[in-house]
A = this chain, B = another copy of it.
Amino acid sequence: MINNPKKILRDHIEKVVKLTDNEFDFVIGHFALQSFKKTQFIIQAGDHVKDVFFILSGLVKLFYMDESAKQHIVSFAMEDWWETDFNAYYAQRRAVFSLACLENTETYSLSLENFNRLCNGLQKMEHFFLMKSIAGHIGSQERILSFLTSDARARYENLINKSPGLLQRVPKATLALYLGVSRETLSRLGS
């Protein structure tokens, strides 16, 4: 159990925008603590998506399950990341992706109503979310580029360089679902 979740969130936000104590009190009122166990689903495809989740601790996968029940991992999210099915969340549609825990996970959840109240009530927070969204967009472009420029081995090395911890926290077969290669090919890369 995280000892001081409020401090974690505040530090995270203040890397982008400074807040007074009063402002942070206003902010924190919009969030709700939740915790999930390993293998548990936070969002199931088809669900109505109420919340975006700030990960306080743990590790989750955002994935799409195709017609033949194969999982395709769009992204991992761990400490200090925001995750949800963003399309479903902002457009108020049913989830196409699922979000499931690879470890026990604690989150702050933020409903869309509270998201809007927060942005309207405190312009700094709209700016904060804009910066986060831009960072997410840039990260996705890097991932696209790795598919265009790199083969399986280079994508794998790229991943463990950027997130060395993942290798310890996630089975290789799961990494394969993120890299877009079969687990056998990934295994044969050696090293």
Interface residues of A (CB under 8 A from B): 64, 66, 72-75, 86-87, 90, 119, 123, 126-127, 129-130, 133-134, 136-138, 140-141, 143-145, 147-149, 180
Contacts and interface: CB of A to CB of B under 8 A. Distances in A.
- Please give me the 3 A-B residue pairs with the lowest Cβ-Cβ distance, nearest first: A140-B140, A72-B148, A133-B133
A90 B127 CA distance: 13
21 contacts: A66-B149, A72-B145, A74-B144, A74-B145, A74-B148, A75-B141, A119-B127, A119-B130, A123-B126, A126-B126, A126-B130, A133-B133, A133-B134, A133-B137, A136-B137, A137-B137, A140-B143, A140-B144, A143-B144, A144-B147, A147-B180
A153 B159 CA distance: 27
Contact of A138 (B72, B87, B134, B149): B87
Given A126-B130, A127-B119, A149-B72, A138 B86 contact: yes
Given A74-B141, A126-B127, 5 more contacts: A72-B149, A86-B141, A123-B123, A143-B144, A147-B180
Contacts of A143: 140, 144
Contacts of A90: 134, 138
A137 B86 contact: yes
A86 B138 CA distance: 7
Chain B CB count within 10 A is highest, among A72, A73, A134, for A134
A26 to B, nearest CB: 17
Nearest to A123: B123
Nearest to A133: B133
Contacts of A130: 119, 126, 129-130, 133
Contacts of A180: 147-148
